[in-house]
Amino acid sequence: MAGALAIVLLLATIGVSVAAAADAPSDGRVITISTPMPPPEWALLERELLRANAAACEEFYDRYFDERGYLLCVERWGGDDGPDDAIECVADWPLLVALGGSDRVLSLYKRAWEGHLRQYTLAKTVEVEFARDGMYYKEFPVTFDWVHNGEGLTAFINEGLADPHDEKFQARVRRFAGFYTGEDPGAPNYDPRHKIIRSLFNGSRGPLLRKATGLDWAGDKIDVEGRFQLRHGERSYAEMLAHFRDYNDIVGDHPQNLCATSLPLAAYMLSHDTKYRDWLLGYVDAWVDRMAANSGIIPTNIGLDGTIGGECGGRWHGGVYGWGFSVMDPARGQIAHRNMHALGLVGFGNATLLSGSQRYADAWRTQIDAVNAAGREIDGRMMYPTMHGDQGWYAFQPAKYAHGADEVYYWSMKPADRERLSGGGWLAFLDGREPGYPAAALRADFAALRSRVEAMRQDTTTPDTRLADDPLMVSPATVVTLCNLTLGGLYPGHHASHLHARVRYFDPETHRAGLPEGVAALVERLSADAVTVTLVNVDPVQPRSLIVQGGAYGEHQIATAAIGDREERVDRPWVAVRLEPGCGAQLVLGTKRYVNRPTLAQPWDD
């Protein structure tokens, strides 16, 4: 039976039909769902949460930004309250738009982003040498670590999900990627021979190739007492310097620099120029090889000569934010363990999106098993390490090492990887348990949103007593549950990570990303080769059209679409759906994961 005729005959009997539609991309075929479905609680909560988020974001912008897009705060450089914290205040806003939030949120984000770039290009340090001509150069941090660079670039990376056609965004993606691929001679961050980013501090003015000081991290002197409440708990500038006193060994590569791969990946998804693909996979593969050479554990210092531990006396666990980085926290008067190797997951995820290879999940899985194999019984209880120093593993805790366990399972979808994860919450819902989880989680998000808005309204800081990270504490965008439930996706966090999702939605009538007005979606099952999603039009008056895409970037091919026991072949990265008023249905999408080139193009761009 021919494909189009088959769909018509197949689905008409169960309240679903297929018709030509002028607003559908490419072949114009649309699955039309006409089975009445009273809007479930989760659907109404999703729609209201999207609306409430947008209203809260508007109020937040009016409270903390001016008409230029400048954040109303004391501008400073540093790891406490620098430029990254300023723009992190809107980090999740483009993602909210890509989920189906208001276009007004996108407009406010863009005003804040443009203002931010101007504000921190003009903002200069007096004592910190590398930011005396501006904290940003070429609209990018001059040189800093990717704990902070990643926080500051999260909104920008997410912008590609909401509006990839913006010409300024596209130009910046290429420019920023060039700081790492070697295309900008003024930013020699990358050594192509040894496949390393040469320092923990890197950016638009290149790497910092000396030991860092407390001043480099803490920024210029500032009076604290009676004026500011520092988030690290310091009570004076002296304590700020003391906090970063031992943050010295930054020369050489560190896994957190893998966050920088998000820039070439974005450039590749705009252009599909193989130079970006080759660079990214070459760099990440070098880290996989280092893990294999280091008993399966990712080292936290690679010397300028390419050797493991080369800038730390051969100690693979050395360096700032390394496996052995335990330092005194002066505000609390105790040792703090600050091992940031797990930020390397961003690069491993980017390589997975780009290549479809399971070698990155395999490498990280090996590390999880290796760290947990070092567990030991202490006082009659099994304990597992979190740190490694000259004397071996230390900082044991009852919980097994689990950094990356969620990602490894998500990339592999192997039952053995699922067994590493806790039994409750979202994953339990996907397993068929906890059926009430979606509504309960969305109700909890309303409570969180209400709490943040209340805290914002009670905030007594003024622009001259406010640091950049103060508004961050009350930034209202609440998107984690929406990512899980509507996309079957992992919330990307604030590390400049690209989104990992099993499906994404577009509105073909307005030509914008996100769930169309009145439409709600719930991913109910995930497997290696299928996604089960319920779509519902909560509007009893107006029909709605949408496009369901395989993956956040079309990286998954939708092989089939089924309703009940009726199935039809699709064999493309998306399927178009029309929902009649007040109607809905459960679709089972057979998928082939990671078989397509990831792209920021939207379905109608083809």
Angle, alpha carbons 478-479-485 (nearest 5°): 135
Measured distance CA(351)–CA(262) in Å, rounded: 10
Pairing of β 334-337 and β 503-507: unpaired
Tokens 């004391």, located at residue: 74
pLDDT band of 65, cuts 50, 70, 90:
very high
Q: What are phi and psi of 114, to 5 degrees?
A: -65, -45
Q: Cα torsion at 548, 552, 556, 562 (round to 10°)?
A: -30
Give the pLDDT score at 577. 97
Are 586 and 563 in contact, with CB atoms under 8 Å apart? yes
Query: Looking at domain 3-34+502-605, which CATH architecture does it have?
Result: Sandwich (2.60)
Mean pLDDT of 580-585: 98
Q: What is the dihedral sign for C-alpha 392, 394, 396, 400?
A: negative
Lowest mean pLDDT among 122-126, 231-235, 511-515: 231-235
% of the chain residues with pLDDT over 90: 91
Model confidence at 1: pLDDT above 80 = no
**Per-residue pLDDT averaged across 337-357, rounded?**
98
DSSP state of 301: -
Going by C-alpha positions, the residue among 250, 110, 277 that lies closest to residue 189 is 250
**pLDDT score at 17:** 47
Query: 321 and 233 in contact (C-beta within 8 Å)?
Result: no
Q: Report residue 172 CA to chain centroid gap.
A: 19
Q: Are 356 and 593 in contact (CB under 8 A)?
A: yes
pLDDT at 127: 98
- What's the pLDDT at 371? 98
Q: Is the C-alpha dihedral spanning 163, 97, 405, 190 positive or negative? A: positive
Give the other-Cβ count within 10 Å of 305's Cβ. Answer: 12
pLDDT(22) > 50:
no
Residue 558 pLDDT:
98
- Residues 168 and 116 sit within 8 Å (Cβ to Cβ): no
- CA dist 411 to 57, 483, 569, Å? 32, 16, 24
Calpha distance 11→26 (Å, rounded): 21
pLDDT 10s digits, 108-162:
999 999 999 999 999 999 999 999 999 999 999 999 999 999 999 999 999 999 9
CATH class in words for 44-480: mainly alpha
- Band of pLDDT at residue 29, cut at 50, 70 and 90: confident
Per-residue pLDDT, 232: 79
Calpha distance 29→7 (Å, rounded):
10
- The two three-digit tokens of residue 532, written as one number: 């089960």
**Average pLDDT of the chain?**
94
Average pLDDT in the 200-225 region? 97
| Best-predicted range by mean pLDDT (102-106, 224-228, 560-564, 566-570) | 102-106
- Summarize pLDDT for 350-399 with one digit per residue, the tens: 999 999 999 999 999 999 999 999 999 999 999 999 999 999 999 999 99
378: tokens are 């202490």
Reported as a pLDDT band with limits 50, 70 and 90, residue 23 is very low
> pLDDT for 157-184, tens place per residue?
999 999 999 999 999 999 999 999 999 9
pLDDT, position 21: 39
77 and 135 in contact (C-beta within 8 Å)? yes
Task: Give CA–CA dist 453/447, Å, rounded.
Answer: 10
The values of phi and psi at residue 546, to 5°, are: -150, 165
Residue 235's Cβ-count burial label (10 Å; 0-12, 13-18, 19+) is middle
The full set of domain ranges for the chain reads 3-34+502-605, 44-480
Tell me the C-alpha distance between 78 and 148, whole Å: 9
Distance CA 102, CA 51 (A): 7
- Per-residue buried b or exposed e for 13-44, using 16+ beta carbons within 10 Å of the residue's own CB: eebbbbeebebbbeeebbbbbbbebebbebbe
Residues 6+ apart with CB under 8 A from 238: none
Tokens of 365: 């899985």
- Would you state the pLDDT for residue 422? 84
Residue type for 479, please?
V
What pLDDT does residue 495 have? 98
pLDDT at 51 over 60: yes
Three-state SS string over 398-461 comes to CCCCCCCHHHHHHHHCCHHHHCCCCCCHHHHHHCCCCCCHHHHHHHHHHHHHHHHHHHHHCCCC
CA distance 392 to 317: 10
pLDDT digits (tens, 9 = 90+) for 525-568: 999 999 999 999 999 999 999 999 999 999 999 999 999 888 88
Burial of 345 (0-12, 13-18, 19+ CB in 10 A): buried
Are the C-beta atoms of residues 526 and 580 closer than 8 Å to each other? no
